[in-house]
Structure 1
Amino acid sequence: MPREGPMSGTPRIGEILVEAGVIDEMQLAAALGEQARWGRRLGVTLIKMGMVEEGHLVRALAKQLDLPVASLAGKRIADDVIALVPAKVATEHGVVPLFVKREGRTSQLYLGMEDPSNLAVLDDLSFRTGMEVHPVMVGPTELGQAIDRYYLGSGAAGAEADAGSTSIGEQNLRTIREGSETPTPEVPARPAPPVPLQDDPGRAAGDADSSTGPPIELNQTVETAPLPEGLVDDVARALEET
């Protein structure tokens, strides 16, 4: 299978998605053809061709590469952080710097990427900034909007977008773990035990209410005591008199 870029020794985003079962070889070949035709990045191409949903793409890559995920909705990136990555690098490679974490003398740059397998841009930015660069998965749509906002957009649009937003930081990163999104199965309610009928042959004799006497079985003949002598004649005589 042809590689997507010059880094022939490194698995690229398409190969990772095929290995994860998100797309197959034929879909990848078709997407690579569209990518070469229109010049879009592969992730955007796959989404526009309807081969994968953006959320599924991000989760699959993050899980396969064991990378954190960040959403840029309602978040603001500091100007001094944006200045760390030149506009040409951001637009050509589809990357946006998110924030810098400082620990003692060490500074770590967290870089939003659509294709975290692009090790060349990671090495380049590490050399430019003198920082450790950590890739973070960001959806292609949000990434494109951030590039337009911070590198290609007008200042007025950026100021309007900043209204009500908060600075992005390490607390906004989340990790996709194997099975972490599997819904918890619902436990069916335990049915109530059946109430035995009076003609249930399995009912214990002691279960009957002693105040009402033993239960009468279905199809059971009920024996009655004989009427007293002379009672029938008295009743007949009373009827004749009326």
Structure 2
Amino acid sequence: MEHAKKTSKSRVKGHRKLGDLLVESGLIDRKTLAKALEIQKIQNKRLGQILIDMGVADDEEIARTLARQLDVPFLKLSRIKLPEDVISMVPADLAENHLLLPVKKDEKGLLVAMANPLDLYGLDDLRFVTQMPVRIVVSPEREIIDAIGRYYPGPDLERKMDSGPPIDEGIEIIQHKEPEEKDLTEIEDILDLTERPPVVRLTNAILADAIKMGASDIHIEPQKTAVLIRYRIDGILREIMQTDRHVHASLVSRIKVISNMDV
């Protein structure tokens, strides 16, 4: 990893805008910037994401361009493992709201990866929370989003299942229709498995929790020894829980049953 240079106020705090820097670098032209800014008024997305959606640049091109223009290092977050004690210095909401991630703490202060180093509010909040001098590296937006999902996992769903009223209250179950082309014995075995209380409770807990947290997607990912449950919330994949590998088939079948899909 390159050593981060201390970024002067004249470079980062010069009231420069992301779009202007990208035009100056030649990555986009003024016409493209104007179109992206019009879209931003309607969609309320980050400018970088709009340019990516338009297909005029990817997040790594944007990050490398910002690094060159601002004379700060570029860092591939996917290649390093971040220390937990450093991650714990920055609250999850600050990391998510400003797309930044602490990388290293040393005698010079805190080294932070940012998708947009021109985010002055994020830098000010970071200095206030950590009470430390801050140095900047630039990383691709998607790598920061993915890293936030890895290092700031969501609350333990299993604790939610074990406390409070039954979480399956208020969940509407869609009646399953008998598929025509499957062996009846096989179907009965699958349905019997998916109707067992632990599977029902786990499935309903995941669905109710995802709705409560405003998730757009639920990822049920089989691993070698476990099943990883992740939600996509505001574009960020957050790890919610891990459960035993053997429940994967019955969990997926249960979701198919309540969705009126062929099992």
Q: TM-score range by the shorter chain?
A: 0.5 to 0.7
Q: Kindly indicate whether the alpha-carbon contact (under 8 Å) linking 1:109 and 1:134 is maintained by their aligned counterparts in 2.
A: yes
1:35 aligns with 2:44: no
Q: Give the Cα separation in 1 of the matches to 2:149 and 2:42.
A: 22
- Offset of 1:149 from its aligned partner? 1.6
Cα distance, 1:9–1:67 mapped onto 2, change above 3 Å = closer
Number of paired residues?
147
Distance in structure 2 (CA, Å) of the matches to 1:9 and 1:65: 10
Higher helix share: 2
Higher RCO structure, 1 or 2 (CA under 8 Å, sep 6+):
1
Q: Distance in 2 between matches of 1:35 and 1:95?
A: 21
Identity of aligned residues (%): 38
Once the two structures are superposed, the pairs formed by residues 128-167 of structure 1 within 5 Å of their partners are 128-152=129-153, 153-154=238-239
Aligned: 1:82 with 2:69? no
Residue 55 of structure 1 and its aligned partner are, at CA, apart by 3.0
Q: Which of 1 and 2 has greater Rg?
A: 1
CA-based RMSD of the aligned residues comes to 2.3
Distance 1:49 1:25 in 2: 14
In structure 2, the partner of 1:98 is: 103
Runs of 4 or more above 4 Å deviation: none
Deviation of 1:151 (Å): 2.4
Give secondary structure in 1 for the equivalent of 2:31: helix
Residue number in structure 2 paired with 1:72: 77
SS in structure 1 at match of 2:136: strand
Which blocks of at least 5 consecutive residues in structure 2 are unaligned? Answer: 1-12, 154-237, 243-263
Looking at structure 1, the residues matched to 143 and 40 of structure 2 have their Cα atoms a distance apart, in angstroms, of 19
TM score, norm. by length of structure 2: 0.51
**Once the two structures are superposed, what CA deviation does each residue of 1:156-198 show, in whole Å capped at 9, x if it has no partner?**
67xxxxxxxxxxxxxxxxxxxxxxxxxxxxxxxxxxxxxxxxx
2:115 counterpart of 1:110: no
Aligned-residue offset at 1:145? 0.6
Match of 1:96, as an amino acid?
Answer: L
The separation in 1 between residues aligned to 2:63 and 2:89, in whole angstroms, is 25
Trace 1:213-224 onto structure 2 (pairs within 5 A): none
Provide the residue aligned with 1:55 in structure 2: 60
Residue 53 of structure 2 aligns with an amino acid whose one-letter code is K
